[in-house]
Structures are given as C-alpha cells and as structure tokens.
C-alpha cells in the first residue's frame, strides 16, 4: 500500500506530459477532419504537416518548461503544436495535481464538462 502511494504520480490517468498529448495525437490521426479543413478551407497544402512559427510570450514559455514541452522549439508542424498545446493548456501553474484533473467527458452521453 505504501508503494502505491509513493508512486501515485506515475499512475495518474490525467497526466499532461504523456496522456493528454498522446490522446490529442491519436484524435488527430484517426480523424482527418482537421487535415482536410486545413487543406481545403485554409489552403494549407500540407495540412497538419504545415510548419508554423510562434514566438510565444514568457508566460506560455514558463508553462512549456513546466510541462516539458520544449520551449526553445518555436517552429513545429500543426500536429506538433496541437500536442504541445495540450501540455500548455494543462499547465496553468495554479496547483498540483494539474488542471486536466478537472476535465470530464461522458462518451456515451457525448457530454463534457470542465470545471476550474
């Protein structure tokens, strides 16, 4: 029981450094809506592989550092930015456990709720 409590951080299903970015990447992979939209509606011929540069503010850089999202990488593909964004979004710096702990989704009812 003691070992379970010592290593509980490794068991958190809502972890923002692995779980949330992985879910984001998989969601984008299995559904081509975003890629099609970028190509057909916005004229980005490479879709999710389009490279974008963002010189983000210091507050975002601090969240990236905390979330281990490689803050010195300012040019990424849109797909990479989506993954980094899922880390940045969860690292609000207010407290631990991270903010993603408050995300809820009921897939059967297709309803979601977010609390802060």
Residue 7 lies in a domain: no
Residue count of the chain: 116
Confidence tier at 52 by pLDDT (50, 70, 90): very high
Residue 111 lies in a domain: no
Q: 110 in helix, strand or coil?
A: coil
- Full DSSP string of 29-40: HH-THHHHHHHH
Q: Which residue has the higher pLDDT, 4 or 41?
A: 41
Residue 8 lies in a domain: no
Share of the chain above pLDDT 90, in %: 21
Q: What is the mean pLDDT of the chain?
A: 76
Q: Which helix (H) or strand (E) holds 88?
A: helix 78-90
Domain count, the chain: 1
Residue 4 lies in a domain: no
What phi and psi values does residue 77 have, to the nearest 5 degrees? -75, 160
Residue 6 lies in a domain: no
**How many other C-beta atoms are found inside a 10 Å radius of the C-beta of residue 59?**
10
Mean pLDDT of 31-54: 93
Q: 7 in helix, strand or coil?
A: coil
Residue-wise pLDDT tens digits, 98-111? 555 555 555 565 55
What is residue 116's predicted lDDT score, i.e. its pLDDT?
37
Residue 20 lies in a domain: yes
Residue 61 lies in a domain: yes
The pTM for the full model equals: 0.67
Residue 116 lies in a domain: no
Query: What number of helices (H) and strands (E) belong to the chain?
Result: 5, 4
Q: 51 in helix, strand or coil?
A: strand
What is residue 41's predicted lDDT score, i.e. its pLDDT?
95
Lowest mean pLDDT among 11-20, 26-35, 81-90: 11-20
Q: What letter would DSSP give residue 104?
A: E
Show the domain range for 55: 13-103
Mean pLDDT of 32-41: 92
What is residue 49's predicted lDDT score, i.e. its pLDDT?
94
What phi and psi values does residue 67 have, to the nearest 5 degrees? -90, 5
């Amino acid at each position: 029981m003691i070992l379970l409590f010592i290593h509980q951080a490794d068991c958190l299903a809502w972890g923002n450094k692995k779980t949330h970015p992985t879910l984001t990447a998989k969601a984008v992979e299995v559904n081509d809506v975003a890629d099609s939209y970028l190509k057909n509606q916005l004229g980005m011929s490479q879709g999710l592989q389009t490279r974008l540069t963002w010189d983000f503010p210091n507050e975002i850089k601090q969240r990236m550092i905390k979330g281990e999202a490689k803050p010195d990488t300012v040019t990424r593909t849109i797909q990479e930015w989506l993954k980094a964004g899922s880390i940045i979004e969860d690292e609000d710096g207010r407290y631990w456990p991270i903010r993603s702990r408050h995300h809820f989704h009921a897939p059967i009812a297709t309803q979601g709720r977010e609390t802060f």
